[in-house]
Amino acid sequence: MRLPRNASLLLAAGLLQGCVSVPLFRDPGLQRTLYPGLAELTPEEIEAAFEKEVAIRPPLTAGIAWIGGSPRDPLSEYHRTGVLEEAVAALRQDPFRMITSLPTIPAPLSVDSRGREGPSPPTLDALRGACARFQCDVALLMQTGVATDSGLNVLAIGYFPLVTIPLVPGNDVAVSTSVELCAIDVRTGVPLACARGRSAMTKRFVFPWSEAAAEGRLAEESLRVAVAAAAEDLRAQLRERLVASSERFAGPREGK
């Protein structure tokens, strides 16, 4: 039995809608390890670490370095600049007075034990050294992760006539992002606080020819949200840490 043309289109649309859902975010399945510079300590070194005094007092100056990222991330330098602007603006509040964005360059790739290529992360001492050159009290390390995916929506039925593919917004784009912000005392190397933020966004009805551009814009927007959340948590942790540090190393009050 032959279905009427309109009925055939409705049936195809229904099947397409039933097979396509919001794109899932891929898990890269990477193992994680402590950042270089947070190596094991001997019992004596652990005891000595507790004796280090964090002498910084608010308002603080800080240098932020955005380290990491994958060559497959949809972020251009334009998008990275937007995310860094958001990070600096979100951090430039109590207990900070000034935030400096440290210059970075693409890192050369190295091969891990499994034969996978990836950038070699610098040590925390390298980050402290860069901040010392800028005379910053605190070194801020920012690392991000971006996962993207895409799929078809119900309008993709318009792709069947090949000539109409560029004219139909039949794609959906999804992005999930995470941000880790850590603060280190430049003079002593003592880690002061570490905070995380995350965000997930989806853009519906994207033209196939603009999918890459949509991913870049969506990744920047999502990272801005994640960065702002991490920055707020980091500032709260630092305020508490500074109070605790002040009370710990304060001498006995007079008359007691």
**Over the stretch 232-246, which tens digit does the pLDDT of each residue have?**
999 999 999 988 777
Q: What is the pTM of this model?
A: 0.81
**Model confidence pLDDT, tens digit, residues 87-122:** 999 999 999 999 999 998 876 666 555 665 666 677
Cβ–Cβ < 8 Å for 97, 60? yes
Distance separating alpha carbons of residues 242 and 121, to the nearest angstrom: 28
Q: What is the pLDDT, as a whole number, of residue 250?
A: 62
pLDDT of residue 163: 80
Q: How far is CA 9 from CA 6, 21, 66, 158, 232, in A?
A: 5, 19, 49, 10, 50
- Per-residue tokens: 254: 């007079």
